[in-house]
Chains A and B, each alone.
Chain A
Amino acid sequence: SQQGEEDPQALSIQEGENATMNCSYKTSINNLQWYRQNSGRGLVHLILIRSNEREKHSGRLRVTLDTSKKSSSLLITASRAADTASYFCATDAAGSYQLTFGKGTKLSVIP
């Protein structure tokens, strides 16, 4: 079964606006990651946050993690048309390198 559930399923914004997508998960995790998938392509790793971290930044990306609520958010600031893609969260449990993915958020950035 899918561990993560992203919200919203789809998001459409204007170029330059910020995009926020959320991920909720069900069981305890070791790490949470976010991946991007352009249409028809493989997934590309964006950022990993450990369970003992609360916030992490990478360029225009900001990820937060709230383990008490079993949720994470991905913020993309100053979005660009090139950010148009589907975004997936993925979790792994302690002692395992296996990833469990959510269903994804489809982001459309309108020029």
Chain B
Amino acid sequence: NAGVTQTPKFQVLKTGQSMTLQCAQDMNHNSMYWYRQDPGMGLRLIYYSASEGTTDKGEVPNGYNVSRLNKREFSLRLESAAPSQTSVYFCAIPSGTSSYEQYFGPGTRLTVT
């Protein structure tokens, strides 16, 4: 998954705690995406950013905030974590081949107890 890095790889939170998931890319793409994947499910889009300084809601934005302060980084924040946010979180960027194809980071596995 070279080109997209995510930190941390694993995290356990207690209900009500906050945390920020980090995503960084070195492929100079304008667009970046945050997805969540629940067990036995496909990915659902949380937020996306079409360019530095802009963000838009996806399918499941409730309970999350995002920040795109520069072209390289796109962070996802959980202000008050809930057990329903237990999931694997993936960051993605467009691939070099097509703006429609996406290139995914390795994911962050989050458990909220």
Residues of A contacting B: mostly: loop
Residues of B contacting A: mostly: loop
Cβ contacts under 8 Å, A102 to chain B: 42
Q: How far is the CA of A25 from the CA of B42 in the complex (A)?
A: 13
Stretch at the interface among A14-22, A38-46, A65-73, A76-84: A38-46
Cβ contacts under 8 Å, B100 to chain A: 30-31, 33, 48, 92, 97, 99
Q: Which of B42, B92, B101, B106 contacts A88 (CB 8 A)?
A: B42
Cβ contacts under 8 Å, A41 to chain B: 1, 106-107
Q: Is the CB of B1 within 8 A of A42?
A: yes
Is B28 close to A, CB under 8 A? no
Q: Is the CB of A98 within 8 A of B48?
A: yes
Q: List 28 A-B contacts (CB under 8 A).
A: A1-B59, A2-B41, A31-B100, A33-B100, A33-B101, A41-B1, A41-B106, A42-B1, A43-B43, A44-B104, A45-B95, A45-B101, A48-B98, A48-B100, A48-B101, A88-B42, A90-B42, A98-B33, A98-B58, A99-B45, A99-B100, A99-B102, A100-B45, A102-B42, A103-B40, A103-B41, A104-B40, A104-B42
